[in-house]
Structure 1
Amino acid sequence: MPIIGSKLPMEVRMENVEFKSQGETLKGVLTRPAKASGDVPLVVMAGGWCYTKEVVMPHYAKYFNDIGCATLHFDYRNFGESTGERRQHLDPWEQIEDYLNAFSFAETLDGIDIARSGYWGISYAGGHAIILAAIDPRAAFSISTVPVVDGFQTMRRCHGEPRFAALNKLIAEDRKKRFRGEAGDTMAMSPKSDPSQEMSAWPFPHVYAGFMGIKANEAPLHEHWNTVESVELLLRYVVKPYAQRIIETPTMVALAKADNITSADLEIETFNAIPCTDKELAVVRGVDHMSLYTNYEHLGKIAKVQADWLEKTLKRI
């Protein structure tokens, strides 16, 4: 199904690449506009919970290619084609380190205008993108899509009071196992059917259905499970203190109106904490969190808003 856009698709050159991040080998895909003249800006892209680089990112990348940007989307350590022995383990600070090293890799590439390059992220990585805007002075811009901004409040809301208590009990038991030197447990990313029958990180059957469709059609290396410790680390994850540090970096935050997975009100509160005046909030109607993965027309609505903003921003840099 073609993505709806305002321009004819630009011809792109694709290259499989790899780079190191704290001893692990990360695999990625570099795309460049085929007919670009001179150095071009780069958008460094990574995904959310249990993503591989094939999950939706190639579709968003097309919009950035169409405005003359290169893109680099990659697998974090422990996922997809990248190395890492703790498979399906998500540590947000390790992922942010992987982002930073992706940018460092980009600095070694010919044909990239690194001074006009920046970050893009979605869901969990949407929060990472805001943090990166705060901590990496190299970033010329940052684009955050339906971000997770407060892991504790997000999990508490998603699970509800009784199940959130059960989740915390599970995490405590897992910590005891790891203290004894045993391997930590794993859990489903989301349940296949009734969430009351299976503890999961994101207790929504429609999330399972959406990702299984993506796995079948585009991302065969996606695995729909994670370590229990990943959720423990998510509960400590808060983006707002970093948003308050964004003084100069142009930043866009794009939301699905009334998103009840990553909580639109928390996202807006975090956006409002950014002191930089060169910022933009896009609240897109008629889409929801998962439809940005499963409905290409909905994906296109938010991707076009982002690409239009980036095109205008790059003209000022």
Structure 2
Amino acid sequence: MQLNVKFTSDGETLAGILFRPDGAQGKLPTVICAGGWCYTKEIVLPHIARIVNNGEVQVLAFDYVGFGESSGARRQHLDPWQQISDYRNALTYAETRDDVDPSRLGCLGISYSGGHVLILAAIDPRIKSIVSIVPVVEGYHNLRRVHGERRFADLEAAILQDRRVRAAGGKGNKIAMASSRPYEELSVWPFPRVNEVFLEVKQTEAPLHEHWSTMESAELLLNYSVAPFVSRVISTNVLMIVAERDNITAWDLEVEAFNNIPSSAKRLEILPGISHMSLYSDRADTNIAAVHARDWFSKTL
């Protein structure tokens, strides 16, 4: 069963979908989830939610401020701390629902939001369990690696120029999420396959996806790191799902972040033969990650 919902977050109205197991009665454990870079709630999350539902766990997926069906005058702006606040406000909304057991709340994130849920596990004691899938854990080193030294210098120069424009009262510039011509067109994630998959997803599943962000979003990503927070995850149940040899969000950085989590209630799943992008483009690969999430939440919530 799917139910469209709306709730407030820092003065804005967020749109979400509650995925509830068919025939379920009473209060259920509930998982809050949102997407990664320029996602809307229709991208990959419904497929994961339906499998998690099989474990008698309901899922609330939502659009961040400024994305999809949610309000927000500044569109396509990824402020990670605003997004983390949106997650926390979604948790607060869930607590008010008659069909939610507020003592059994979890969070799931993928890619950029995979990093967010690691931070949330450190700062919000309501969260009992998380699943972090192919997370972004260190923005600066991640982007420097994927762009290479010379192209990364171009990105830094574009970010500085955008800051000058905004300081002078200008609107600021846009940057592509990904490009089919990464050496000709600057983008945040310079992988033609990312461009191909997300434009296909826009045509088939998520028409409100926009394939660009503010340039300032890239600047904020350069300063993003889960490192100061993972050492504070003491007792939360943590499952991290990593795609073997993921060269987009850097699987070695993900494993390093996992190893720095002191909680004994943690588990690492490294998926062989699965790439970052096949989690979106190949439903069989999506399902493998979703089954791990279902089993983890069924066990820990």
Distance 1:70 1:138 in 2: 16
Q: Which runs of 4+ in 1 moved over 3 A?
A: none
Q: Is 1:90 matched with 2:70?
A: no
Which letter maps to 1:200? S
Q: Percent identity?
A: 52
Work out which of the residue numbers 229, 235, 243 in structure 2 matches 1:242.
229
Which letter maps to 1:58? P
Match of 1:71 in 2: 59
1:114 CA displacement? 1.5
Give the SS at the match of 1:33.
coil
Q: Is 1:101 matched with 2:89?
A: yes
Work out which of the residue numbers 250, 267, 279 in structure 1 matches 2:254.
267
Q: Is 1:36 matched with 2:24?
A: yes
Work out which of the residue numbers 306, 309, 315 in structure 1 matches 2:293.
306
Which letter maps to 2:221? L
Distance 2:208 2:72 in 1: 15
1:268 CA displacement? 0.4
Does the CA-based 8 Å contact 2:57-2:298 persist in structure 1?
Answer: no
Give the SS at the match of 2:128.
coil
1:312 CA displacement? 1.9
TM-score (norm 2): 0.99
Which letter maps to 1:301? I
Match of 1:200 in 2: 187
1:38 CA displacement? 2.7
Match of 1:131 in 2: 119
Match of 2:109 in 1: 121
Deviations 1:130-187 (A, max 9, x none): 0000000000111100000000001001100000001000001000011001111001
Moved more, 298-307 or 278-287: 298-307
Superposed counterparts of 1:17-28, under 5 Å: 17-28=5-16
> Aligned residue pairs: how many?
301
Match of 2:265 in 1: 278
Deviations 1:221-278 (A, max 9, x none): 0000001000000000000211110011111110001100000100000001100100
RMSD of equivalent CA atoms: 0.7
- Structure 1: runs of 5+ lacking an equivalent: 1-12
- Structure 2: runs of 5+ lacking an equivalent: none
1:303 CA displacement? 1.2
Q: Is 1:143 matched with 2:139?
A: no
Distance 1:21 1:39 in 2: 23
Match of 1:4 in 2: none
TM-score (norm 1): 0.94
Give the SS at the match of 2:164.
helix
Distance 1:289 1:278 in 2: 25
Distance 1:33 1:251 in 2: 23
Give the SS at the match of 1:42.
strand
1:117 CA displacement? 1.2
1:113 CA displacement? 1.1
Distance 1:48 1:194 in 2: 22
Deviations 1:54-113 (A, max 9, x none): 000000001110000111000000100001111100000000000000000001101211
Which letter maps to 2:245? A
1:116 CA displacement? 1.0
1:203 CA displacement? 0.5
Work out which of the residue numbers 212, 215, 224 in structure 1 matches 2:202.
215
